[in-house]
Structure 1
């Protein structure tokens, strides 16, 4: 029977020394089918830790439902609440995910996950974690500003043809894909690295980007799976996130362990 763990269990976790600031950790080559295995492992963690998963899934769901509700209430002026609401979501999202990573990490170590302990994950590398959350918010604000500028390409004539829409659609799609790819590349493994190995923010970002760069196919599949889970959540007014977000959170932890090489 696995025992309940405490903070002392994490004192032996490998760390990057201060002299190794902004180091790029090596990564493994992974298969295009691996993301589906991570998804299955995430589902298994959900089944094995239903109460903790329900707690974090509900937190994600409340945040998503709040955003959808605010947009709906604003009617013709959703832009007044979209940016502030998304900023809040981008701030709390990574820290909710930390709790999920903690649960998967505990199971890998043969320990019994504990809700209170998982909530303390936010404090294990708080400086780097908060810095990264702020970086995500800045990136999102930049993204919204770019979107506002691109809106100038939107046809001003009512009932415009698809040809007249083409510059807006093509430019917007290409720009959105590039920005989304960059954010995903620096973010997908950064939080797990900062949690388990207590690395600095630049080491986490460089290592995450390097792992995605060397595994473009599998990581594109994983990004699509994440987008699908998030879209399901918002399409169901947040209800779907009760299930999808824990699975994706656990799955990301397994993706991290499969992709970033362990310290020898």
Structure 2
């Protein structure tokens, strides 16, 4: 005999589904154009207060950077530079999870530990790996474009620069667009997936909306991040012992200030 259905139960379930629906956009705050400098200052403060954690993740970033530099020197060609940088952009967000966790622990008044920060990588592994696949597809797309452009290069050795210029301009333009897209969808995605355990599409949509809402501030923040990375590579990776942990902590504070908090009923 069919079981009677209570309409109120259906309404409750519908409300729960609505509250937990996938691919939603979490609202964001509007921040000032000077906010990135505040995030950087907070990141520096965390860097000083957590020397062991900062040194560990700084060393991880440094070793990755040194590996890229050695790869470029071993290959003896500039063609691996941009793909290598994109690989670094893929590794960076996952290493930074530990830094986000450490800043989060300090905010909660807890003692941040290296072991606890390392466990952050598995806190929302399904969404994090799905996001890694998204970034990997973007990387493969760029590498295929780079290979295609290389195949069209002038075959004459010692050809004048003007013959290479169209390919260099096209490659740079595509790389810039791809970098902007990756930055836009990843600026807040990883800390959001770690803290609130949201699905990957919610994280991507929320990050995109937050960057779009705060374009001036995010341009400044992007330049700060690029500056930190360039300093690191210019010092053969050694500068990343300092710059990358500060930027990682700063990213957590950027997320904390930009994405609206939970409102518990």
Sort the TM-score into its range (normalised by shorter chain): 0.7 to 0.9
What's the CA shift for 1:182?
A: 0.8
Query: Unaligned regions of 5+ residues in structure 2, if any?
Result: 1-16
- Equivalent position of 2:105 in the other structure: 106
Secondary structure in 1 matching 2:256: helix
What's the CA shift for 1:128?
A: 0.7
- Asked whether the equivalents of residues 38 and 254 of structure 1 are also in contact (C-alpha less than 8 Å), the reply is yes
- Equivalent position of 2:4 in the other structure: none
- Equivalent position of 1:65 in the other structure: 66
What's the CA shift for 1:217?
A: 1.0
CA displacement, residues 113-135 of structure 1 (integer Å, 9 cap, x when unaligned): 11110111011101111111222
- Asked whether the equivalents of residues 62 and 241 of structure 2 are also in contact (C-alpha less than 8 Å), the reply is yes
- Asked whether the equivalents of residues 24 and 203 of structure 1 are also in contact (C-alpha less than 8 Å), the reply is yes
Larger Rg: 2
- Equivalent position of 1:36 in the other structure: 37
CA RMSD of aligned residues (A): 2.5
- Equivalent position of 1:12 in the other structure: none
2: distance between equivalents of 1:241 and 1:17?
A: 43
- Asked whether the equivalents of residues 72 and 78 of structure 1 are also in contact (C-alpha less than 8 Å), the reply is no
- Asked whether the equivalents of residues 58 and 244 of structure 2 are also in contact (C-alpha less than 8 Å), the reply is yes
- Equivalent position of 2:27 in the other structure: 26
What's the CA shift for 1:229?
A: 0.9
2: distance between equivalents of 1:140 and 1:17?
A: 34
CA displacement, residues 119-168 of structure 1 (integer Å, 9 cap, x when unaligned): 11011101111111222122112112222333466556645365x55533
Query: Unaligned regions of 5+ residues in structure 1, if any?
Result: 1-15
- Equivalent position of 1:160 in the other structure: 160
TM-score by length of 1: 0.84
CA displacement, residues 19-62 of structure 1 (integer Å, 9 cap, x when unaligned): 41111011111111111111111001000101110011001111
- Equivalent position of 1:50 in the other structure: 51
- Asked whether the equivalents of residues 87 and 139 of structure 2 are also in contact (C-alpha less than 8 Å), the reply is no
- Equivalent position of 1:237 in the other structure: 236
